[in-house]
Amino acid sequence: MKHMNGRAGAASTGAVIMGLVLAGLGGCSRQESAAPAPTPVAKPAAPTRDQLLGATVTGVFDAPVTLTSGRYEGPPAEAGAASKPTIELWEPTVEFVDVDGSPPEEGVALLTSSTGGSGTYSHVGVFNVQDGKAATLGVVPLGDRVQLFRLWHEPGKVLVDVVEPGPGDPSCCPTQLSRKAFGWKDGKLQQLASDVVGGLSINLLAATDWMLVAMDGQPLPTGAVPPTTLVQYGKAAGFSGCNRYTGPITESAPGKVKLGELAVTGKACDTAASELEAAFLDRMRATTSYGFQAGQLLLVAPQGDGPPRTLLFSR
């Protein structure tokens, strides 16, 4: 029988030990690679404009309602009644801001509601995404027949300038300009401040080129170049759809105005532009009052016993 010397035996033993170690490591490696990868956690998403127009609104009526194209219309309170409860989300007021201090941003918009009576109630609504759909995170009332002049935001705060009834104002005809701040406090949306900052005046219209978006409640014809108006220094001036115009404007009382003779340039235009211009100037000349509809300027021209003619402008 042959015997291995000590050096050869030690080398053989070392090789065996090394093999066992490598085999063990290989087994661990296979076990580790076989373990399932952790499932990534989806980050919360901010709502989109389209989602807001189909949001579920809680906190305005007794039960939640869902908007369709930004509007909800319910059944009449009494069978056969003409009036119906409504909620409208005004898309021109939509802003996106982190209100609750936790990403992502929330959607903010003005809501108006009516139960069928003479009152129209305004609300500030804040929306997030719940179960893949937009829903109200909080709603705070602004008041009855309040006119929104402007809505904007600062970090963690929503600010609105509104025309609301002041001392002695009837509900129909508010003249007090107030600035209100809304934010997240004690786990919910709350009004943080409200300060009177002035009164209704055509000076609020200055330094803004207002662009016509609707006439008598109807959008402008496709392809039309929108008329404009700039009201300042006692004059109203702008583009009338074909030509330029200018004329004096005076305010006899808050919200009550009269336009003087309008001077209009004499450029010839195609039939569609000329018709739009004629209708626009006709309503401008007959305007007797103005107000604000969801941050947009509304000029009103009475029409005898019929519904008033209106011009709606965006900023």
Token digits of residue 267:
């450029």
Q: Which of these, 152, 136, 154, lies nearest to 95 by C-alpha position?
A: 152
**pTM listed for this prediction:** 0.83
Residue 138 domain-assigned (yes or no): yes
Residue 168 domain-assigned (yes or no): no
Backbone φ/ψ region at 186: left (φ over 0), alpha (ψ -120 to 50), beta: left
- Quote the percentage of the chain above a pLDDT of 70: 87
State residue 77's pLDDT score: 77
State residue 211's pLDDT score: 98
By CB neighbour count within 10 A (0-12 exposed, 13-18 middle, 19+ buried), where does 231 fall? buried
Q: Which of 17-31, 42-56, 118-132 has the lowest mean pLDDT?
A: 17-31
Same domain assignment for residues 220 and 118: no
Same domain assignment for residues 283 and 220: yes
Angle, vertex CA 179, rays to CA 195 and CA 87, nearest 5: 125
Same domain assignment for residues 133 and 66: yes
Same domain assignment for residues 139 and 208: no
User: How many structural domains does the chain have?
Assistant: 2
For the chain, what is the mean pLDDT?
90
Q: Which of 47-56, 117-126, 184-193, 234-243 has the lowest mean pLDDT?
A: 117-126
Q: Once rounded to an integer, what is the mean pLDDT over residues 75-101? A: 91
Same domain assignment for residues 310 and 209: yes
State residue 2's pLDDT score: 43
Q: With 50 as the cut, is the pLDDT of residue 60 above it?
A: yes
Alpha helices in the chain (DSSP H): 6-34, 49-53, 271-286
207: domain range?
203-314
Alpha helices in 6-136 (DSSP H): 6-34, 49-53
Residue 264 domain-assigned (yes or no): yes
Q: Once rounded to an integer, what is the mean pLDDT over residues 95-119? A: 93
**CATH number of the structural domain spanning residue 277:** 2.40.128.270
State residue 118's pLDDT score: 77
